[in-house]
Amino acid sequence: MIPTPNQVQVQTALVTFLTAVLPAGMPVVQGQDNRVPEPAGTDFVVFWPLRRPRLATNIDSYVDAVFTGYITGTMLTITAVSFKYAGKIGVGSTVFGPNVTPGTVVTALGTGTGGLGTYTVSPSQTAASAVIAAGTTSLLQETEVVFQLDVHGPNSSDNAQVISTLMRDEIAFRYFKPASTGVSPLYADDPHQVPFMNAEQQYESRYVVEAHMQAQQAVIIPQEFFDEIEVDLINVDAVYPVT
């Protein structure tokens, strides 16, 4: 299971913002890469993931998806969809059903895109046509994601000031686009100079800024639901006789 948005998606939102507000062509690279030289330009930014403090208690939500279908080999064929339920089937969905092997997972789309059609599943099996499901539980954790931005170069103080100013302003939302990325800017700490010594043992100007963002990270897990119940009567005296 991978949270959404994941680390790469959060970093992409940050890099999109930085490349938009800093001088054109200024490199923005990830730190913690071994045996990699500095970017060729005199001014550049290196970002480092620092921490992820929790902002709130989990928010759990549930979605059921119910279909009629059958499995032959590794192909699942959906022949009918129950529109009472909002869920859809997709890559990574766990399939539940009376004839389905436990742990069956959709590995690829065929002609289906969430409803009617075919899907590739694993493991291979034969399952007669029946009502099947692909319900999920979404565990949303509002998370503060903090990155250290090392702003290098002769213009590092000015570039750090741009980042610090815009991260505390509404304009940053235009670049992060929270509705589509799931990542929102919160603020940036005040820049402070931390001199840097390069591989040639020469000091370079470097300003450090901590960028704080909020990621609406959700972990989605498979979930079985029961949609109906059969009630039967038993003769208590016959089934549980008094001895």
Which residue stretches of 44-171 are H helix? 156-167
> Per-residue pLDDT for 95 more than 90?
yes
In the structure, what pLDDT confidence band is assigned to residue 13 with cuts at 50, 70 and 90?
A: very high
Q: Which residues, in sequence order, are CB contacts of 111 under 8 Å at separation 6+? A: 117, 118
Q: Please give the structure tokens belonging to residue 153.
A: 């170069």
Report whether 205 contacts 157 (CB < 8 A): yes
Q: Which residues, in sequence order, are CB contacts of 106 under 8 Å at separation 6+? A: 76, 89, 90, 91, 92, 93, 95, 119, 120, 121, 134
Q: What is the pLDDT of residues 161-172, one digit of tens each?
A: 999 999 999 999
Q: What is the pLDDT of residues 115-129, one digit of tens each?
A: 999 999 999 999 999
Q: Tell me, rounded to whole angstroms, the distance of Cα 29 from its chain centroid.
A: 21
Q: What is the pLDDT of residues 173-218, one digit of tens each?
A: 999 999 999 999 999 999 999 988 777 777 889 999 999 999 999 9
> Per-residue pLDDT for 36 more than 90?
no
| Cα atoms in the 13 Å half-sphere on the side-chain side of 215 | 27
Q: What is the DSSP string of 25-76?
A: T--EEES--TT-PPPSSSSEEEEEEEE--B-S--EEEEE--EEEEEEEEEEE
Which of helix, strand or coil describes residue 112? coil
| Least confident stretch, 26-40, 56-70, 144-158 | 26-40
Q: Which residues, in sequence order, are CB contacts of 51 under 8 Å at separation 6+? A: 146
Q: Distance between CA 149 and CA 213 in Å, rounded?
A: 13
pTM exceeding 0.85:
no
